[in-house]
Amino acid sequence: MLSAVLDITLVTLAVSLALCFVRLAAGPDLPDRILALDTLYINTIAFLVIFGMRIDNAVYFEAALLIAMFGFVGTIALAKYLLRGNIME
């Protein structure tokens, strides 16, 4: 029963990832693309955690943690660039 729920969740997250890629490619403005990239990070983290639960491997949790850290830093850097025009002060 749990494996069926995890499989359905993985398919749903895969569809969500595909829709995020569409928004990232066809976003009308730069803030929309940044938001799509941030959502892509979050969905990737969820996908890795669920996939790690599905195959019972803890390595995917560490990969999800790394993506979360890099995603946060990347989103902050893009937001600073969008507001000020440069990243470093």
**pLDDT at residue 39, rounded to an integer:** 94
Output the pTM of the full model: 0.85
**pLDDT at residue 80, rounded to an integer:** 86
Task: Give the pLDDT band (50/70/90) at residue 89.
Answer: low
8-43 pLDDT, tens digit each: 999 999 999 999 999 999 988 888 888 999 999 999
54-82 pLDDT, tens digit each: 999 999 999 999 999 999 998 888 888 88
* C-alpha to C-alpha distances, 16 to 23, 61, 76, 83, nearest whole angstrom: 11, 20, 23, 28
